[in-house]
C-alpha cells in the first residue's frame, strides 16, 4: 500500500515536472518569438523602404536636372546677349547714335544762347552764322533720331565689353560739356548780380547755359541709364520726344527772331560792305573825267556794288565845288614858302553826299562820332537806324 502510494506520488511528481518543463519550454519559445518579432520590427523601422528610396532618388535627380537646365539656359542667354552687344553692327549703331546726338547738341547749344540773347537783350547783330546753325540742326537731329530708333531695338542691358567702353567714352564727354554749361550758368548769375552795368547779357547767358545743361543731362541719362527714360505704356522713347520738343521750340524762336532779323537786314549788310566802294568809284570817275558823274549808273563797278546801285539803296547828290582855302596867297613866292614850311598846297575839291537807309542800328553805334565835315572815306562800322547821309569830297589834281 505504501509502495503503491509512493509510486503514485512519484508518477504525479513526474507529470508535474513534465508539465512544468513543457510550460517553461513554451514560455521560452514564446519569449524567443517575441524577441525575434521585436528585432524584426526594429530592423524594419531602421531600414528605409525601397519604394521611398526610389522616389527620393527620382525627385533629387529631377531637381538636379532642372537646376542644370536653368544654368545652361542662363549661360546661353548671357552668351547670346554678349554676342549681340559685341556684334560690329550693334557697336556701330551705338557709336553713331551717341556721336550724332553729341554733334547735334553743339549747334543747338549755340542757337539756344543766340536765341536767349536776342529775346532778352533785344539785338545780337545776326549774320549768316544763324543760317548755318539751323541747317546743321536740321541735318544732324533727324539722323540722330533715326540711329537712336534702330539702336534701341538691339541695345544691350547691361552693357558689356566693347559696348561698355563706347558708353563710358561718350558719357564722360557729355558730362564734361554739361558741367561746363552749368558752371557758365553760375558765373553768369554772379556777374549779373555784381556787375554795375546792364545785366541783360549775363541773364541771357545764364538762361541759355542752364537750358543747354539740362539737355546734356538728358543725353547723359539716355547714354548711361536709358531705362529711366522709358515707360511701358509708351511706344516712343521719351528722350526722343523731349528732344523733338526742345529742337522744335528753339528752331521756331530762332526763325521768328534772329533769322527774320537776318533777312530784314540783308540790305544793311550790303550797304555796310560796298557803300565805300561807290565812293571810290566816284573818285576814280573824277580823276578820269575831271567832273562828278550825273548819276551812279555812269560808274564802272563790280557786280556787288552794281547790285547796291541797281537796288536804289543809295541816293547820290552833288553839292558843288570849293576853291583853294588859302585865298590870301596871291603870288608864287608866298605859296612856295607856305609849301616849304611843311604845309600842303591848297586844293580844289568837289563835294557830294551819299544817303542810305538802315533797317537797324549797328551794335557799336556812338552818336558822338557823327560829324558834319566832308570826308574822303566812308565808315559804316557805326551807324544809327534810319536814313544816314555821308558828306564826301574828292580833290582835283
- Are the C-beta atoms of 120 and 200 separated by less than 8 Å? yes
Give the containing element (helix H, strand E) for 112: helix 88-121
Angle, CA of 96, 98 and 101, to the nearest 5°: 100
In whole angstroms, give the CA distance from residue 275 to residue 314. Answer: 8
DSSP annotation of 358: E
Q: In the predicted model, is pLDDT for residue 295 greater than 60?
A: yes
More confident of the two residues 157 and 372? 157
pLDDT for the residue numbered 385: 87
- Are the C-beta atoms of 268 and 311 separated by less than 8 Å? no
Cell numbers given for 100: 550724332
Q: In the predicted model, is pLDDT for residue 38 greater than 70?
A: no
Q: In the predicted model, is pLDDT for residue 32 greater than 70?
A: no
pLDDT for the residue numbered 369: 57
Q: In the predicted model, is pLDDT for residue 20 greater than 60?
A: no
| 235: three-class secondary structure by DSSP | coil
Q: In the predicted model, is pLDDT for residue 8 greater than 60?
A: no
- Are the C-beta atoms of 113 and 209 separated by less than 8 Å? yes
In whole angstroms, give the CA distance from residue 254 to residue 239. Answer: 22
Give the containing element (helix H, strand E) for 377: none
Average confidence (pLDDT) over 372-396: 85
pLDDT for the residue numbered 388: 92
Q: In the predicted model, is pLDDT for residue 3 greater than 50?
A: no
- Of 49, 240, 78, 85, the closest CA to residue 164 belongs to 85
Q: In the predicted model, is pLDDT for residue 126 greater than 80?
A: no
Q: In the predicted model, is pLDDT for residue 324 greater than 80?
A: no
pLDDT for the residue numbered 377: 85
DSSP annotation of 256: I
In whole angstroms, give the CA distance from residue 250 to residue 215. Answer: 12
pLDDT for the residue numbered 74: 55
- Are the C-beta atoms of 229 and 218 separated by less than 8 Å? yes
Among the residue ranges 131-135, 234-238, 288-292, the one predicted with the least confidence is: 234-238
Query: Cα 9 to the chain's mean position, in Å?
Result: 130
Among the residue ranges 24-38, 49-63, 114-128, the one predicted with the least confidence is: 24-38
Average confidence (pLDDT) over 175-202: 92
Q: Which residues pair with 5 in a beta bridge?
A: none
More confident of the two residues 137 and 39? 137
pLDDT for the residue numbered 55: 55
pLDDT above 90 covers a percentage of the chain that reads 39
What dihedral angle (degrees, nearest 10) is formed by the CA atoms of 75, 76, 77, 78?
Answer: 50
pLDDT above 70 covers a percentage of the chain that reads 65
Most confident of 77-81, 273-277, 360-364: 273-277
Q: In the predicted model, is pLDDT for residue 357 greater than 90?
A: yes
Most confident of 22-31, 54-63, 118-127: 118-127
Q: In the predicted model, is pLDDT for residue 36 greater than 60?
A: no
Q: What is the pLDDT of residues 270-288, one digit of tens each?
A: 998 999 999 999 989 988 8
Residues making up the chain, counted from first to last: 397
Q: What is the pLDDT of residues 331-342, one digit of tens each?
A: 445 555 555 555
In whole angstroms, give the CA distance from residue 381 to residue 391. Answer: 16
pLDDT for the residue numbered 181: 98
Most confident of 134-148, 234-248, 308-322, 377-391: 134-148
pLDDT for the residue numbered 24: 45
More confident of the two residues 375 and 16? 375
DSSP annotation of 375: B
Mean of the per-residue pLDDT values of the chain:
78
Amino acid at each position: 500500500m505504501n509502495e503503491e502510494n509512493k509510486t503514485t506520488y512519484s508518477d504525479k511528481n513526474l507529470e508535474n515536472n513534465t508539465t512544468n518543463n513543457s510550460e517553461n519550454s513554451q514560455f521560452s519559445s514564446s519569449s524567443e518569438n517575441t524577441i525575434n518579432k521585436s528585432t524584426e520590427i526594429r530592423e524594419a523601422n531602421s531600414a528605409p523602404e525601397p519604394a521611398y528610396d526610389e522616389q527620393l532618388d527620382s525627385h533629387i535627380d529631377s531637381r538636379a536636372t532642372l537646376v542644370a537646365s536653368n544654368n545652361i539656359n542662363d549661360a546661353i542667354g548671357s552668351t547670346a546677349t554678349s554676342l549681340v552687344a559685341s556684334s560690329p553692327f550693334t557697336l556701330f549703331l551705338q557709336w553713331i547714335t551717341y556721336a550724332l546726338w553729341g554733334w547735334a547738341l553743339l549747334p543747338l547749344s549755340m542757337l539756344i544762347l543766340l536765341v536767349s540773347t536776342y529775346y532778352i537783350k533785344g539785338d545780337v547783330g545776326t549774320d549768316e552764322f544763324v543760317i548755318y546753325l539751323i541747317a546743321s540742326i536740321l541735318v544732324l537731329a533727324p539722323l540722330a533720331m533715326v540711329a537712336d530708333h534702330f539702336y534701341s531695338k538691339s541695345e544691350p542691358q547691361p552693357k558689356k565689353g566693347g559696348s561698355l567702353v563706347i558708353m563710358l567714352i561718350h558719357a564722360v564727354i557729355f558730362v564734361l560739356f554739361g558741367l561746363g554749361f552749368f558752371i557758365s550758368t553760375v558765373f553768369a548769375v554772379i556777374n549779373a548780380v555784381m556787375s554795375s552795368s546792364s545785366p541783360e547779357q549775363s541773364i541771357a547767358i545764364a538762361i541759355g547755359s542752364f537750358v543747354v545743361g539740362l539737355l546734356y543731362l538728358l543725353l547723359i541719362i539716355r547714354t548711361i541709364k536709358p531705362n529711366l527714360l522709358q515707360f511701358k505704356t509708351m511706344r516712343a522713347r521719351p528722350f526722343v520726344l523731349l528732344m523733338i520738343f526742345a529742337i522744335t521750340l528753339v528752331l521756331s524762336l530762332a526763325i521768328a527772331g534772329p533769322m527774320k532779323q537776318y533777312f530784314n537786314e540783308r540790305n544793311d549788310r550790303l550797304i555796310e560792305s560796298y557803300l565805300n566802294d561807290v565812293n571810290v568809284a566816284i573818285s576814280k570817275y573824277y580823276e578820269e573825267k575831271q567832273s562828278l558823274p550825273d548819276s551812279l549808273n555812269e560808274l564802272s563797278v563790280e557786280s556787288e556794288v552794281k547790285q547796291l546801285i541797281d537796288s536804289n539803296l543809295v541816293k547820290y547828290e552833288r553839292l558843288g565845288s570849293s576853291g583853294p582855302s588859302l585865298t590870301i596867297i596871291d603870288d608864287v613866292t608866298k605859296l612856295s614858302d607856305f609849301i616849304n614850311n611843311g604845309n600842303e598846297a591848297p586844293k580844289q575839291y568837289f563835294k557830294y553826299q551819299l544817303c542810305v537807309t538802315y533797317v537797324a542800328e549797328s551794335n557799336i553805334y556812338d552818336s558822338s562820332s557823327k560829324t558834319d565835315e566832308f570826308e574822303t572815306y566812308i565808315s559804316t562800322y557805326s551807324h544809327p537806324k534810319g536814313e544816314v547821309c555821308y558828306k564826301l569830297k574828292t580833290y582835283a589834281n
